[in-house]
Amino acid sequence: MRPGFSPRGDRGGRGGGRGGGRGGFGGGFGDRGGRGGFRGGRGGGFKSPDGGGFRGRGGGRGTPRGRGGRGAGRGGFGGGKKVLVEPHRHEGVFISRGKEDALVTKNMVVGESVYGEKRISVEEGETKIEYRAWNPFRSKLAAAILGGVDQIHIKPGAKVMYLGAASGTTVSHVSDIVGPEGLVYAVEFSHRSGRDLLNVAKKRTNIIPIIEDARHPHKYRMLVGMVDVIFADVAQPDQTRIVALNAHNFLKNGGHFVISIKANCIDSTAAPEAVFASEVKKMSAENMKPQEQLTLEPYERDHAVVVGIYRYINITLLSALPWPAQVSTAFAMTHTNCHWQLCLNSYFRPVFR
């Protein structure tokens, strides 16, 4: 009988022998440790050089599936390899190049993670800058960026209204992007998620948390100024109406919106493409002109993101009109549902529907 085994060690002995062979091989390289190697090592002889028992039973499994052995030498975020960070074409967003490429944002609160995401530090000259990994499986905005969306309109210094902020996962990355010169008005109805959002906002001075129903923007109108962008991830059947109500109150003329649409939340019986088309039509009726639509596969199923502009007025065309026409036309465009129609006299006039 090999040393270190208890009388109960029949099964442990077999496991230990197997682990001794494979574990030695995996442990010798020190990369991942090998599943069988570390499992066998723990069971058949983790502390004994000849493969003896760990706790007298010999065949104890120790850590499930030997997960601890993976940390030896992974590159990228967790390892010691150097990581190159490049700016993304969307201002304020970056890409880390390493063993595994990842979308990252510059951490506004150095040393702090929001939802357990990985962090990397990169030396630029004499300063060290920290970046946070942005998981597209946990953020619709990150999924849209990796999916190739043309514009997100969220950039350093921007004022953003975020509807459906939840626990602040994506909000924290938007906070990183807009930086200290920008603002994020984060609206969340759930008090449970709102507590997490408040904790995030305590450390990030550019986040203003609003725990209120986005269907009633008048309840928080005294807290919010005019914004450049509205991002919405509310997953409600009337989400287009919710976004429109907030846009009418807070989104500046020529401002932009980014709406995440979950087809099943609107109509689970219709095809996703039909749901997306229906929502786009509703947006057009609210002076919200969609400019881009993108599905979020493979990160989200039956989801789409719609990007557009709100109440765009062509100032050049407007200035060409006589003064009374300028006033009446501007008023009509900003207070009613209308569209431009080119008349025979080359004037544009609003046509009401």
Q: What is the 3-state secondary structure (H, E, C) of 10-60?
A: HHHHHHHHHHHHHHHHHHHHCCCCCHHHHHHHHHHHCCCCCCCCCCCCCCC
Same domain, 326 and 291: no
Task: Please compute the mean of the pLDDT values over residues 124-139 and round it to a whole number.
Answer: 90
Within-domain flag for 2? no
Within-domain flag for 109? yes
Instruction: For residues 263 and 276, give the distance between their C-alpha atoms in angstroms, rounded to a whole number.
Output: 7
Within-domain flag for 4? no
Instruction: For residues 203 and 180, give the distance between their C-alpha atoms in angstroms, rounded to a whole number.
Output: 12
What is the CATH classification number for the domain harbouring 108?
3.30.200.20
Same domain, 343 and 231: no
From 133, 155, 174, the end of a domain falls on 133
Q: What integer pLDDT is reported at residue 15 of this predicted model?
A: 42
Selected residue with higher pLDDT from 65 and 250:
250
Is residue 107 scored above 90 in pLDDT?
yes
Same domain, 205 and 158: yes
Instruction: For residues 168 and 115, give the distance between their C-alpha atoms in angstroms, rounded to a whole number.
Output: 9
Q: What integer pLDDT is reported at residue 315 of this predicted model?
A: 54
Same domain, 340 and 288: no
Instruction: Determine how many CB atoms are found less than 10 A away from the CB of residue 119.
Output: 15
Is residue 102 scored above 90 in pLDDT?
yes
Selected residue with higher pLDDT from 90 and 37:
90
Do the Cβ atoms of 207 and 201 come closer than 8 Å? yes
Same domain, 198 and 347: no
Instruction: Determine how many CB atoms are found less than 10 A away from the CB of residue 203.
Output: 13
What is the CATH classification number for the domain harbouring 280?
3.40.50.150
Do the Cβ atoms of 317 and 165 come closer than 8 Å? no
Q: Are strands 251-262 and 227-232 parallel, antiparallel or unpaired?
A: parallel
Task: For residue 320, give its domain range.
Answer: 315-352
From 114, 133, 152, the end of a domain falls on 133
Is residue 326 scored above 80 in pLDDT?
no
Within-domain flag for 256? yes
Q: Which pLDDT tens digit goes with each residue over 23-45?
A: 444 444 444 444 444 444 444 44
The answer to which of 57-61, 264-268, 303-307 has the lowest mean pLDDT is 57-61
Same domain, 257 and 214: yes
Same domain, 219 and 118: no
Which CA distances in Å does 346 have to 28, 156, 323?
Answer: 81, 40, 16
Same domain, 157 and 265: yes
Same domain, 200 and 175: yes
Instruction: For residues 351 and 271, give the distance between their C-alpha atoms in angstroms, rounded to a whole number.
Output: 33
Same domain, 204 and 242: yes
Within-domain flag for 216? yes
Into how many domains does the chain fold?
A: 4
Q: What integer pLDDT is reported at residue 197 of this predicted model?
A: 95
Within-domain flag for 322? yes
pTM over 0.95: no
Q: What integer pLDDT is reported at residue 64 of this predicted model?
A: 46
Cβ-Cβ contacts under 8 Å for 267 (sequence gap 6 or more): 237, 274, 275, 278
First and final CA of the chain: distance in angstroms? 92
Q: Given CA atoms 149, 151, 157, 160 in this order, what sign does their dihedral have?
A: negative
Cβ-Cβ contacts under 8 Å for 155 (sequence gap 6 or more): 90, 91, 92, 177, 178
Instruction: For residues 172 and 193, give the distance between their C-alpha atoms in angstroms, rounded to a whole number.
Output: 14
Within-domain flag for 299? yes
Same domain, 184 and 288: yes
Same domain, 125 and 160: no
Task: Please compute the mean of the pLDDT values over residues 197-210 and round it to a whole number.
Answer: 95
Q: Which pLDDT tens digit goes with each residue over 234-272?
A: 989 999 999 999 999 999 999 999 999 999 999 989 999
Within-domain flag for 263? yes
Q: How confident is the model at residue 313 (pLDDT cuts 50, 70, 90)?
A: low
Alpha helices (runs of H) in 94-238, residue ranges in sequence order: 140-147, 169-178, 191-203
